[in-house]
Amino acid sequence: MKILVCISKAPDTTSRIAFTEGDTQFDSNGVQFIVNPYDEWYALVRALELKEAQGGSVTTITVGEADCDPVIRKALAIGADDAVRIDANPTDALQVASLIASHASEGRYDLVLCGKETIDHNGSVVGGMLAELMNASFVSLATSLEVEGGVVKATREAAGGLESVEASLPAVVSAAKGMAEQRIPNMRGIMAARTKPLNVVPAGDALQAASVAKFELPPAKGDCKMISADQPEELVRLLREEAKVL
């Protein structure tokens, strides 16, 4: 089975969030970038497990500029066979999806995995768009994934529980927590990653329809009102009369 895993870079979860150029750009000064956790911990690791069990290959794909290469190497160190980077600086999920689709269409892959969302844009959009563009089935927010006899068998988050679904290949699956366990790359993986192919391809025409006009930081939080541990009634009174949430 040929598997494609979408890998995105995201600022480390402890990064200070700030903006530059009139609040139009993320300030990456001093920011450490990581592989987006959903892509790494769940999508990539499950793809590797499927390959280990059934054979085939795992390729990663990233839409981004050369500053993505370190996180792509990390994905290769964890175990992907090769990587594709489409050289573009995308502003919108439709653009990302259409560039990936231009590479993934024509039956090149049986299965495409992506994380359920990135921790910077939190869109949860690329997978669904990709499925539509590739005319593939789509399992969103999957918490487990098997492929048996050409059929995807997965569980996914649904209203108030988990749903079991079956879908035909080719399929796009977005990975949520539960699908796999994080793998830490070992020294051999890190060494091997240096020489694995990372193919940079120019971006062709892409759809594009949205962009961020301006970022904004949330207003500073007011002081925390402290209540004595022996006076829970006082907290209840404040929640009811002051905060009006009871």
Cα separation, 42 vs 163, whole angstroms: 18
Contact between 29 and other proteins (CB under 8 A)?
Answer: no
Contact between 38 and other proteins (CB under 8 A)?
Answer: yes
Q: Which of residues 82-101 bind other proteins (CB under 8 A)?
A: 92-94, 97
Decide the pairing of beta strands 161-168 and 2-6: unpaired
Query: In Å, what is the CA distance from 237 to each residue of 171, 223, 226, 234?
Result: 53, 18, 13, 5
Cα separation, 134 vs 89, whole angstroms: 22
Q: Which helix or strand (DSSP H or E) is residue 156 part of?
A: strand 151-158
**CA 239 to chain CA centroid, nearest Å:** 37
Contact between residue 136 and residue 30 where contact means Cβ atoms under 8 Å apart: no
Smallest gap from residue 100 Cβ to other proteins (A): 12
Contact between 178 and ligand FAD (CB under 6 A)?
Answer: no
Q: Which stretch binds other proteins (CB under 8 A): 6-14, 44-52, 63-71, 82-90?
A: 6-14
Q: Which of residues 2-41 bind ligand FAD (CB under 6 A)?
A: 13, 37
Contact between 245 and other proteins (CB under 8 A)?
Answer: yes
Give residue number: closest CB to ligand FAD. Answer: 13
Q: Which of residues 173-202 bind other proteins (CB under 8 A)?
A: 177-178
Contact between 127 and other proteins (CB under 8 A)?
Answer: yes
Cα separation, 100 vs 91, whole angstroms: 14
Please identify, using beta-carbon distances, which residue of 20 and 182 lies nearer to ligand FAD.
Answer: 182
Residues that bind ligand FAD (CB under 6 A): 13, 37
